[in-house]
Amino acid sequence: MQKRKLGNSGLDVSAIGLGCMGMSFGYGPPADKAQMIKLIHGAVDRGVTLFDTAEVYGPFINEELVGEALAPFAGKVTIATKFGFKLDPATGAQVGLDSRPEHIRAVAEASLKRLNVEAIDLFYQHRVDPAVPIEDVAGAVKQLIADGKVKHFGLSEAGAKTIRRAHAVQKVTALQSEYSLWTRGPEAEVLPLLEELGIGFVPYSPLGKGFLTGAMNETTTLVSGDFRNILPRFTPVARKANQALVDLLGRIGARKNATTAQIALAWLLAQKPWIVPIPGTTKLHRLEENLGAADVILTPGDLVEIDEAAAKITVQGTRYPDKLEQMTGL
């Protein structure tokens, strides 16, 4: 597996990481723990060194899973986790945002135990908390770094101004936000700023929460508990309209002897050398397929063709319902 540096931080990771959320949360009942540990071990065997989790995935059980699975590989992999949500102590449900410094420290301590590590490799603010100045957030993480409990600071779904303000207090190693051929918001302001400041970019949902793999269409039924059931972009009408984007990826893939998912990931990798997507999966064959994207070469002509064709396709449906946009944690 090729390696990439997350910006100017010096943090080397595999060109493609593994998003672990779906193993425990978001897509229906949690997958079998033993099987997921086996899958994570399979990822390590295939060269993956960046693994992504968060306290809210479950909550808590995904961090425990990742910590147990990666314990034999301490010092050889990078584990990223996140803080920033207020959880109901009785149910674990998300009930708001909380990035107060004292809460950040408490989450860090709890995550260290669940992950069974001495220091958190990459600690993201999961969502920007409008009630807490970003300088206070960055300062709290800066102190955790000074204390040896965190190695790198990250942000998720933050805008350009917020990133710049945070970076002035504590250097931001990586931004994690949704980015793919059907979610291109970061391109206007965020990507240029990341390049200016030397910050790496970790796209989550690089395969459009599964849609860009071509594995679903307008008739696909999602299981109960799958959060995509409430997403406007996943209504049958939207899926039918958005199939044009999958068809585009399929046409390029047929020419490159690659799958639609591989073209979607290869497109991301071709955007910048400091972009590291983290597709998630619970299946070994999908993991192998995703990792194969690192070997797919898209020429400048291919990229122009994809961009010109994609520009003619209007993606239907918003990412999240309005009320969940800031609260989703997904």
pLDDT by residue (tens digit) across 53-111? 999 999 999 999 999 999 999 999 999 999 999 999 888 888 999 999 999 999 999 99
- Residue matched to tokens 């979610």: 183
Q: What is the mean pLDDT of residues 147-153?
A: 98
Question: How many angstroms from the chain centroid is the CA of residue 228?
Answer: 16
| pLDDT of 328 over the 80 cut | no
pLDDT at residue 326, rounded to an integer: 55
Check: CB of residue 190 under 8 Å from CB of residue 163: yes
Report the alpha-carbon distance of residue 244 to residue 240 in Å, rounded: 8
SS3 state at 96 = strand
What are the distances in angstroms from CA 265 to CA 76, 207, 210, 230, 323?
Answer: 24, 7, 12, 25, 29
User: Given 57, 124, 179, 204, which residue is catalytic?
Assistant: 57
How deeply is 62 buried, as exposed, middle or buried, from its count of CB atoms within 10 A (0-12, 13-18, 19+)? buried
State yes or no: is 57 an active-site residue: yes
Confidence at residue 90, expressed as pLDDT on a 0 to 100 scale = 86
pLDDT beyond 50 at 217 = yes
Helix (H, G, I), strand (E, B) or coil at 107: helix
pLDDT at 330: 45
Q: Determine the pLDDT at residue 323.
A: 76
Average pLDDT, the chain: 96
Beta-carbon count within 10 A of 247 CB: 13
Q: What is the pLDDT of residues 113-132, one digit of tens each?
A: 999 999 999 999 999 999 99
| Among 273, 258, 280, 263, residue whose Cα is nearest residue 205 | 280
Asked if residue 210 lies in contact with residue 231, where contact means CB atoms within 8 angstroms, the answer is no
Task: Assign domain 3-214+271-296 to a CATH class.
Answer: alpha beta
Query: What local confidence, expressed as pLDDT, does residue 73 receive?
Result: 98
Q: Quick one: pLDDT at residue 219?
A: 96
Q: What percent of the chain has pLDDT over 70?
A: 98
pLDDT of 329 higher than 70: no
pLDDT greater than 70 at residue 247: yes
Is the pLDDT reported for residue 186 higher than 80? yes
Task: Sketch the domain layout of the chain as residue ranges.
Answer: 3-214+271-296
